[in-house]
Amino acid sequence: MKNVGFVGWRGMVGSVLMQRMVEERDFDGINPVFFTTSQLGEAAPAYGNHRSTLQDAYDIDTLASLDIIISCQGGDYTHDIYPKLRQAGWQGYWIDAASALRMNDDAVIILDPVNGQHIQDSLNKGIKTFVGGNCTVSLMLMSLGGLFAKRFS
């Protein structure tokens, strides 16, 4: 099972993600580790059979022990932590709701189903950084995605 870290899971974006993951039973196939910037050591949310305490969101060693990190904490957190993790040699997957890394050459914008094939191709090429897009543009592309697919297929 993959060890998956969650940072920023209590906010608006993170709480919606948690709800969707529960509905999809995604927690059944992972070992979730929850991080905090303010409530270190308190009980982490219990999803499935997983019970633990909240970990320090700034602890590079603990973060670097994970296979995947999903961040909904915001761009300032990403700008602070992401380069430190990579400099520490972390080779895991970074999935981020923030746009902070959007223009990086080694990052792919997540907008499935619009660019699902591009995401898969990027995974096959070894890309490990996936980021959110501009909300307005993403919504427009998602609403038009089906039309584009029909017109250009």
Tens-digit pLDDT profile for residues 121-133: 999 999 999 998 7
Instruction: Identify the H or E element spanning 80.
Output: helix 75-87
Q: Is the peptide bond before 113 cis (omega within 30 degrees of 0)?
A: yes
CA distance linking residue 91 with residue 89, whole number of Å? 6
**For the chain, percent helix, then strand, then coil, each to nearest 5?**
40, 20, 40
Show Cβ contacts of residue 47 under 8 Å, excluding neighbours closer than 6 positions. Answer: 18, 21, 22, 27, 32
Assess whether pLDDT exceeds 70 at residue 137: no
CATH topology of domain 2-151: Rossmann fold (3.40.50)
What does the pLDDT read at residue 61? Answer: 98
Return the structure tokens found at 148: 């584009």
Assess whether pLDDT exceeds 70 at residue 152: no
What does the pLDDT read at residue 138? Answer: 64
Assess whether pLDDT exceeds 80 at residue 151: no
CA distance linking residue 51 with residue 68, whole number of Å? 19
Q: Is the Cβ–Cβ distance between 126 and 91 less than 8 Å?
A: no
Q: What is the pLDDT of residues 35-79, one digit of tens each?
A: 999 999 999 998 877 789 999 999 999 999 999 999 999 899 999
Tell me the pTM: 0.87
Instruction: Indicate the Cα dihedral angle 148, 150, 151, 152, nearest 10°.
Output: 80
